[in-house]
Amino acid sequence: MESKEITSGLRKWIIILSVIIPLAVAALFGIKIEGVDLSFLPPIYAGINGLTAILLIAALISIKTKRVDLHKRLIQSCLMLSLLFLLAYVAYHITSETTVYGGQYKPIYYFILISHIFLSITVIPLVLFTYLFAWEGNFEKHKKWAKVSFPIWLYVAVTGVVVYFMISPFYT
């Protein structure tokens, strides 16, 4: 198979995943598996988000200091952490009731939560295409896309931690 065919196939998979992942996550909120206690997961997936944010900043610093191999390994680590987050997040939400925020900062909480959710959906194709461009060796396009995908990915990672700390007092 030629390189062009491979990247064409990868582009299709990125689009498919960018649609299927948010739809699957939304659908899974309607599924509840009883008798499984995964209440320990929220601080873990919040920690995964925090670690992702730290590694994203380290990846930015590494590329700015021309340490390309380190940058590549850090971004790959962030991708794996994001996948691990998604799995833990889904596992928790299909085994637990939704927690309602009961604090005094509802407008702030819901603004952060809604922007986090919306951007977590949009970041999927942005990050995957950005990574694909680097993988293809198209570094000019990679840099252009990274200027958009990086701050969104970082925002999603950081706000994931903020949402956790705001909602955690209301877990039952």
What pLDDT band is residue 3 in, cutting at 50, 70 and 90?
A: low
The pair phi, psi for residue 47, each rounded to 5°, is: -65, -40
Annotated domain spans of the chain: 40-170
> Residue 112: which residues within 8 A CB-CB, separation 6 or more?
159, 162, 163, 166
CA nearest to 31, candidates 92, 119, 114, 120: 92
pTM of the model: 0.92
Query: pLDDT digit string (tens) for 107-139?
Result: 999 999 999 999 999 999 999 999 999 999 999
Angle between the N-to-C axes of helices 68-93 and 41-64, in degrees from 0 to 180, rounded to the nearest 10: 160
Residue 82 to residue 166: CA distance in whole angstroms: 21
Side-chain-side CA neighbours of residue 71 (13 Å): 15
CA nearest to 82, candidates 119, 135, 112: 119
Is the pLDDT assigned to residue 93 strictly greater than 70?
A: yes
Mean pLDDT of 47-67: 98
